[in-house]
Amino acid sequence: MEKNSTINRDLQLPTPPGNARSVLLHSCCAPCAGSVMERLHQAGLSVTVFFYNPNIHPLVEYCRRKEENRRFADKLGIPFVDGDYHQAPWFARTRGLEEEPERGRRCSVCFTLRLEESARMAARLGIPVIATTLGISRWKDLAQVDSCGNKAVSQIAGVDYWAVNWRKKGGAQRMIEVSRREEFYHQEYCGCLFSLRAVNRWREESGRSPIVPDPPGSSD
């Protein structure tokens, strides 16, 4: 069901489902989330950022991405909720999909898991709408992300999924501009163990050194 067709032309922002004024924004990382957080905040919406990404491997990489996202949330004065880092459910759900390519079945399972937890968190906090920054990256299939979002909220009463193409109306360029301005840490792989392995296989074949995630504060 299309619930976000009305456009606020001043802010170039679709209206949230039910004209909601509060949104729980699932964030995958600061570079993808920064411009979206800023845009929602400037639009006068009550935004809560939820960082739930048990796919990210290893723990040092997870902490680095999380703290970078928290830093910007603090700067904007936006509440930041730290989801638990429990990888066991993620590995259980993705078992047998280890060799799936980017945008394949493993990504669908991964997105759904993270957005299901986002919907549950929104219900606990009394927030009627969730959105995600996952689809802003050109490496992601936006239709796949939105399908997972709609599936995630289907079992949670009182919570809607806000399908927004954050790339449109200059959104993709704005993402780059905010990321550069804030000097966000930029990861070199999607996040999970299997994506890291795939990228490092490609780097080895290309004669490049492998990615070895460093702890927060390490020099790049």
Residue by residue, DSSP assigns 89-110 as HHHHHHTT-TTPPTTSHHHHHH
Domain span including residue 57: 21-205
Looking at the chain, how many residues does it have? 220
CATH number at residue 85: 3.40.50.620
- Whether 211 is in a domain gets the answer no
Q: Does residue 7 belong to any structural domain of this protein?
A: no
219 pLDDT higher than 60? no
Of 13 and 2, the one with more pLDDT: 13
Please check whether residue 3 lies inside any domain of the structure.
no
Of 111, 110, 119, nearest to 24 by C-alpha is 119
Mention every residue, 6+ apart, whose C-beta is less than 8 A from residue 150. Answer: 161, 163
**Is 165 among the domain residues?**
yes
Q: What is the pTM of this model?
A: 0.89
> What tokens were used for 116?
């299901």
- Model confidence over 1-12: pLDDT tens digits? 333 333 333 346
162-191 tens-digit pLDDT: 999 999 989 999 999 999 999 999 898 889
| 107 assigned to some structural domain | yes
Task: Look at residues 152, 157, 82 and name the one whose alpha carbon lies nearest to residue 115.
Answer: 152
pLDDT digits (tens, 9 = 90+) for 36-71: 999 999 999 999 999 999 999 999 999 999 999 999
Number of structural domains the chain divides into: 1
In-domain check, residue 14: no
